[in-house]
Amino acid sequence: MAARYLMTRLRFSVPEAEPVTEVNIIPVIDISLVLLVILFISAPLLSYPSLPIELPRAFVPQTGESTLTLTYTAKGELAVGMDMSDWQSLDSKLGAAFSKSPGATLVLRVDKTVPYRVIERLMAVAKKNGVKKIALATERPR
């Protein structure tokens, strides 16, 4: 009986499992993703110092002040308001416009490819003709 038991056991025995020699990569990926999420959450917190400040709000009030637009293109064309101009007549046009309304704001519309020295020259001419406030026109980001 014992021999028969051993024969049956040997016939239906499961071979022993071989030792696992490869690394299971799934837990490594899980841990990496958890660490990546923790990094993404904590990174913005580390980029700003923890000083208590109040940031200003961006608000452009609608004022009743008059404005005059001075346009300078990439080709070197000048326009004061809707009138085409040149450097020689710029003094007289700005002087006439700002003698009527001395508190007006001059809005410079200058092409982005124009060198800064031209903008500086436009501002100098404006200051010479009594302009107190100068604003630079920009586009809103899309």
Other CB atoms within 10 A of residue 71 CB: 18
Tens of pLDDT, residue by residue over 58-104, are: 455 566 678 888 888 888 888 888 888 888 888 888 888 888 877 88
Look at residue 140 and tell me if it is in a domain. no
Inside any domain, residue 93: yes
Q: Is residue 83 part of a domain?
A: yes
Residue 36, in any domain of the structure: no
Q: Is position 89 within any domain?
A: yes
Domain count, the chain: 1
pTM of the model: 0.54
Q: Is 95 exposed, middle or buried (0-12, 13-18, 19+ CB in 10 A)?
A: middle
The dihedral built from the CA positions of residue 104, 110, 114 and 116, taken in this order, carries a sign that is positive
Cα–Cα distance, 69 to 79 (Å, whole number) = 8
- 95 within a domain of the structure (yes/no): yes
Domain of residue 106, residue span: 66-114
Structural domain contains residue 92: yes
* Residue 81 lies inside a defined structural domain of this protein: yes
Q: Which tens digits make up the pLDDT trace of 93-136?
A: 888 888 887 788 888 888 888 899 999 999 999 999 888 889 88
